[in-house]
Structure 1
């Protein structure tokens, strides 16, 4: 009876050791391919990370990317990024913008796997602020006279008639604007003043600047 118990104990220890080795091997495969790998990637053991670099995103903003219509990735800072899920050796991937940041438009270079192959540096996401018009209404300008406006000391606009106006150069979301009278009406029959002339550009056209001559 006593000679049987040691053999049984050895068998149990060997079985436990084999289970431990098997678990460790599975863990190694998962860590090599990434916890988000798909089945094909895990089956053939070749896994590739899809990622790249984000530039131009404004502070306190975020953009949401997708890979192959899923695997949502929310980015709030410029710099390198990687999707959570890897892809298999076919290297098929397509990166798209699911949600644009407020006031910006993000575009993607090297968005798919054809000709590039996924890596941490190939997908380039570039964000630029949206462009909007800046204008308003002029009232009280005497006939036969003109008034010249500027935005931030440049972008001059000379007006010869009352009514709506718009600067020739658009402004960008998030930028500051400051409209002023650079040249008063000539001949100087009336002086013009500006109200609602300063602020930060919203994500829409601006038409609230008021120029009144009296």
Structure 2
């Protein structure tokens, strides 16, 4: 009788000890960082548990906690946000503990599109156009300038940095008619125009 009570007490003490350090009571939040996401649509899953990544799109936390030593496998649910080409989970599978959970991240790649600017009437040298940090010196007689690719849903805005000798150039087109706008889901070829006279 005495040994039965003793065994029961030891069992209870062990159970409480495991619970205190995360054994079986779901005390760990399965979470991680997110990069390369700018809009709604990314959903992650761990078994039957899912979570939507919402603004500001920098982290995720699954609603159901896991216990220490529970095995987790985080996957990306398709489809992705419309402007993402792919999303990869870094360290997606392990047994849960404070170290392994701290290593989880989701890295997404935003789609990019070609961006070409039409140039009309350029007969002199010295023209320089810019789009953000992308700077292009344009030679006389050029009819089209290929700028760096632009992220989908990202801004673009072409301006004149240097005028050509003896000519004045202005920028037209784009979403606002002045060479600026937001990159859509296809390449932008010739919608922005530099006119020189």
Shift of 1:194: 0.7
Unaligned runs of 5+ in 2: 1-18, 174-178
For residues 105-133 of structure 1, give each alpha carbon's deviation from its aligned partner in whole angstroms, at most 9, with x where no partner exists.
432110123xxx23554431134533333
What TM-score comes out, normalization by structure 2 length? 0.63
Q: Which has the higher helix share?
A: 1
Which has more strand, going by share of residues?
2
| Shift of residue 198, structure 1, vs aligned partner | 0.7
Alignment match, 2:73: 93
Alignment gaps of 5+ in structure 1: 1-31, 33-44
**Is contact 2:116-2:144 (8 Å) kept?**
yes
The answer for the alignment partner of 2:193 in structure 1 is 210
Rounded Cα–Cα distance in structure 2 between residues aligned with 1:102 and 1:87: 34
Q: Is the contact made by 1:49 and 1:83 (CA closer than 8 Å) also made in structure 2?
A: no
Matches within 5 A, 1:17-28: none
**1:191 is aligned to 2:168:** yes
Q: How many pairs align? A: 162
Deviation at 1:181, TM superposition (A): 1.6
Give the match for residue 44 of structure 2: 65
CA RMSD of aligned residues (A): 3.4
Q: 1:125 aligns with which of 83, 90, 106?
A: 106
Q: For the residues of structure 2 that align with 1:136 and 1:213, how far apart are their CA atoms?
A: 13
Using a 3 Å threshold, how does the CA distance of structure 1 residues 171 and 148 change in structure 2: closer, same or farther? same
